[in-house]
Structure 1
């Protein structure tokens, strides 16, 4: 019995050791593979980004992903490895090959995070054929010709209303919230062009000024939600 108890105790100790060592060994193997043996190992970039996606996820979460990647380009050149399976290209000549509507590259898997109730949308669909069928219904609205023909007048109208509001604010001598103004301009222009009816954000600014009110705009929570979602955009689905 004593021998059996000793064997069981030793097995328990070894199981605990294996439980602790095995994940560490797997993690080290993963990091070493990404840095030294990965197919993208020769792409320039910091080793910390090559080893793990945590570097990219962190900068995406705190909101300085763009500036951080731009700094990498200044050090490593136009092509930079920003995660084990991701590279970033800073070259205008690459726009057409990457984003071409008749070819180009597939979207990253993280776009699936924006599926609606499990169904791909025009924005989240990874399959170009699936997206193309649905995009036909709205693609004409976003063509350069349509935007110049109809969108330009809408934008000019919204800008004129905002300029009039800014002039009114200038007469008060009080500080203004330029972020709110930019949001209202964007909301009014987009909704009036796409839906045929303005959201009324600039009118809401006028109402706040008339009432000497600096209250939070009704659309702020909606817009802030989009900003917040951006923090988690790159996380795996």
Structure 2
């Protein structure tokens, strides 16, 4: 130190010197802490052994970026293509794509629980079957409702008849125009079917127009992904959102529940048999089932009909038409026993599953250690799998995995392996309760359409049918799908 600098230092007030020293010390502590944390995460943490880009061990912000921009599904898939069945997504999150991992995370008795992500789907702040995080709470809710979603319940003659009426209404809409935007009408069909199942003999008839039609229009074109992502990663925004947003009234839903007696086999009737739930929780369940049933089935049918309408699938469409001609309702035939129809739907579920993005779970605390695909995963780590990758990564199980090949589901060879990797509706105790409902809706709609028409892309169809990610699901990017319907000769 020179005499001049020493003189300058002596001339400065003592308080400033102390403040500058404290600031320098604080900066040094922060820098050293960051370096220590980065060193630990890169070289010492349990997830540092998991394959993945080095930067995913530093921060979760890379994943947040892709989540916010709607590129998370493809980002994860590209990582799996590069690194294999196990990929680190963030310091505390790992993605898997093997059958053994699906069994461990979703179907074992290991106690993996849903993360807070699912809380974003609560209805008026009430938890329902989908948003219940606690295993005991979920089991109690499921016991009340499960019998309404069995295949036997879905095949109830009154339910099937109500759905055929709505499918025929869809077919009539198609007959009125040479170019029909099926995106909106398929969502109308999905709403009308699920509302008939919940409230029979009542329910919406949105295909026919009116206020129900406008409601579906508002529901089908929403884009809430960015807002939901922010609320998930930054929970204080959730509290601010609740403070600033007026509380919605559930009186409309409650009046629908109380309006009139429902058929004995409906979901509404089952809920009303449990008054201890409270009306608000009953409404929450109904709203959740309606919301889940609109986008998932509507989007899947849209992707299916668009793909089937492509010129290169003309022979497949004809094969489906020929099979449907053999179906005779009056003779007691069942659509769920038609092999090619089921193959077409299964292949659609493989390529465009209702939920294409990760279904996250927490590794449980205590008990047996979590070793998944050979990697030790510590408690509280988030683990997940996404159907988009599970259904495509293993080319031995799914050859030409990016292509629409319904015939693969008719082959005995490899059947067990395909089923083990089928993740369209989730897996285990928390498999989507509406699986049989969705499959039956699709069979009835396809029969109603392809027993009357052939379809092809409309001449004025220029919209993109690429998958566009929401929070857990994907839909057609431009939310428009114009198809021409040609009556069978």
Which TM-score bucket, shorter chain as reference? 0.7 to 0.9
Q: What residue number does 1:212 align with? A: none
Cα gap change, 1:44 to 1:132, in 2 (>3 Å): same
Work out the CA distance in 2 between the residues paired with 1:74 and 1:108: 26
| Higher-RCO chain (CA-CA 8 Å, sequence separation at least 6) | 2
The C-alpha deviation readout for 1:150-209, integer Å capped at 9, x for no partner, is: 766555544333233123232xx5xx54432333233222222233343333222xx69x
C-alpha spacing 1:32/1:137, structure 2 compared with 1 (3 Å): same
CA contact (8 A) 2:166 2:205 kept: no
**Using the alignment, how far apart are the partners of 2:165 and 2:188 within structure 1?**
13
Counterpart of 1:17 in structure 2 is: 24
> Does residue 95 in structure 1 map to residue 108 in structure 2?
no
Q: Secondary structure at the match of 1:80?
A: strand
Give unmatched runs, 5+ long, in structure 1: 209-215
DSSP-derived class of the 1:52 partner = coil
**Contact kept in structure 2, 1:80 and 1:89, CA below 8 Å:** yes
Among 41, 49, 53, the residue aligned to 1:46: 53
Match of 1:184 among 188, 191, 196: 188
Count of aligned pairs:
223
Q: Does 1:167 align with 2:165?
A: no
Match status 1:123 vs 2:130? yes
Partner Cα separation in structure 2 for residue 111 and residue 187 of structure 1: 22
Determine the C-alpha separation between the residues in 1 that align with 2:224 and 2:121: 11
- 1:88 Cα offset (Å): 1.4
User: Which structure carries more helix by proportion?
Assistant: 1
Shift of 1:133: 1.4
What is the CA RMSD across the aligned residues, in angstroms?
3.4
CA deviation map 1:93-117 (0-9, x unaligned): 4434322386552112333444567
Cα distance in 2 for residues equivalent to 1:153 and 1:98:
39
**Stretch moving more, 2-11 or 29-38:** 2-11
Matched residue of 2:89: which SS? strand
Would the aligned equivalents of 1:82 and 1:88 in 2 still touch at CA under 8 Å?
yes
Structure 2, unpaired ranges of 5+: 1-8, 236-489
1:211: which partner in 2? none
The structure with more strand, counted as a fraction of residues: 2
- Give the drift of 1:81: 1.3
- Name the CA distance, whole Å, in 2 between partners of 1:100 and 1:159: 35
Judge conservation of contact 1:60–1:232 (CA < 8 Å) in 2: no
Distance 1:191 1:92, change over 3 A: farther
Asked if the contact 2:121–2:131 (Cα under 8 Å) also holds between the matched residues in 1, the reply is yes
**TM-score, with structure 2 as normaliser:** 0.39
Output one character per residue of 1:41-71: Cα deviation in whole Å (capped at 9) or x when no partner: 1111122222211122221111222222111
Is the aligned partner of 1:56 residue 2:63?
yes
| Structure 1 pair 168–130 and aligned structure 2 pair: CA distance change class (3 A) | same
What is the SS of the residue equivalent to 2:49?
coil
What is the CA–CA distance in structure 2 between the aligned matches of 1:142 and 1:21, rounded to whole Å?
A: 60
Instruction: State whether residues 60 and 230 of structure 1, in contact with CA within 8 Å, keep that contact through their aligned partners in structure 2.
Output: no
Structure 2 Cα separation of the partners of residues 45 and 81 of structure 1? 5
1:77 pairs with 2:88: no
Q: 1:200 aligns with which of 199, 205, 210?
A: 205
Distance 1:29 1:98, change over 3 A: same
- Return closer, same or farther for 1:77/1:218 CA change in 2, 3 Å cut-off: same
| Alpha-carbon separation, structure 2, partners of 1:101 and 1:120 | 24
The corresponding residue for 1:68 is: 75
Q: 1:232: how far off?
A: 4.0
